[in-house]
Amino acid sequence: MIAFITLMILVAALLSYMARRGRFASRLVIVGNSPLARQLVAEMTTHRVRQRVAAVVDDPLAGLGAVIEETRPSRIVVAVADRRGQLPMRDLLNATVHGVVVEEGVECYERLTGKIAIEALSPSGLIASRSFRKTHFDLAFGHALSLGVAATALVVLSPLFAIVALAIKLDSPGPVFFVHDRVGLRGRRFRMLKFRTMRPADGPTSEWVCDNGHRITRTGRWLRKFRLDELPQLINVLRGELNLVGPRPHPVSNFELFTEKIPFYSLRSVVRPGLTGWAQVRQGYANNLEEETEKMRYDLYYIKHMSAWLDTWILLQTVRTIVSGREGPARLPTLEVGA
């Protein structure tokens, strides 16, 4: 058994190495000149499993068949903004018959990046998607698991709570906990708890992390590095305001701005927010509206694919960040090799 496990680890390591070196990169032809098509080309060069873009066909009606014949791709990605009369169906069907995978641009973007291209979505498409329909059992199971883990963790970590509280009091004047109004399930407000990591402000402050760096205390900097400032939110989990995993709850003061500026932002409120989340392990903190929009792409991906497996993977990545104290995007939970 030990020899078998060792062999599997070595094979997985070899496959990962070869994928990173591009040995398994599939040859793609991207059809279209839409913003999504350009974004796909950019993502192909940054994704950890590199996809070789054999050609980009701006005008799909101008010789797509010849391009397919010349490049012999393994996959054709259709990212055309206006489909009316813009697709050479005979060429695409012929490619499919010969074993070439034809994929929608939105699906390819989602598969490679672990996020959803919200600018390319339509309300009708979301309504028709079965992936966004969550059963009461799915939602109840995740919440019940969160309650059990939170109760156990609070008991086990109570000595650590006492040590952190003492360090905060000795380092700077002020309360041990920072209490902040956040938006939760179905848009309801709740009071989220954190260990205080900043000196009290003299006046109004910004919600962005980058604007408050000068206020972070010595203890607070250490707590933030290892994410220990988030531990009091286990109490929010027991109150039913949070799950262990879900979209991170945003401050009430930013809710109207995000609702107005970020497409489909209200969908974040259909699931219970989390102590940690897919956007957190993939991107981390946001310091402006553009970065918040990017996190929304990850949040929608989580809502679409939420499962016990994905939650477990997110928790493992969160533990890795806590133990290592290092920031950085976590890899996708599955390795896409020529898929």
Question: Taking a C-beta distance cutoff of 8 angstroms, is the pair 185, 267 a contact?
Answer: no
Distance CA 175, CA 319 (A): 27
Q: CB under 8 Å to 270, separation ≥6 — which residues? A: 134, 186, 303
Question: Residue 72: enclosing H or E segment and its boundaries?
Answer: none
26: tokens are 């599939």
Distance CA 103, CA 210 (A): 39
* Residue pLDDT, tens place only, 295-311: 999 999 999 988 888 99
Q: Is the pTM of this model over 0.85?
A: no
CATH 3.40.1410.10 matches 2-113: no
* Residue pLDDT, tens place only, 67-100: 999 999 999 999 988 777 678 889 999 999 999 9
At 215, which amino acid appears?
R
Give the per-residue pLDDT at 52.
78
At 275 the three-state DSSP class reads strand
Q: Residue 74 to residues 52, 97, 180, 216: CA-CA distances in angstroms?
A: 10, 12, 51, 51
- The mean pLDDT of the chain is 83
**Residue 15 pLDDT > 70:** no
pLDDT band at 159 (very low <50, low <70, confident <90, very high): very high
**Residue 24 pLDDT > 50:** no
Sequence spans of domains, the chain: 2-113, 136-324
Question: Taking a C-beta distance cutoff of 8 angstroms, is the pair 236, 335 a contact?
Answer: no
**Residue 329 pLDDT > 90:** no
Tally helices (H) and strands (E) across the chain. 14, 8
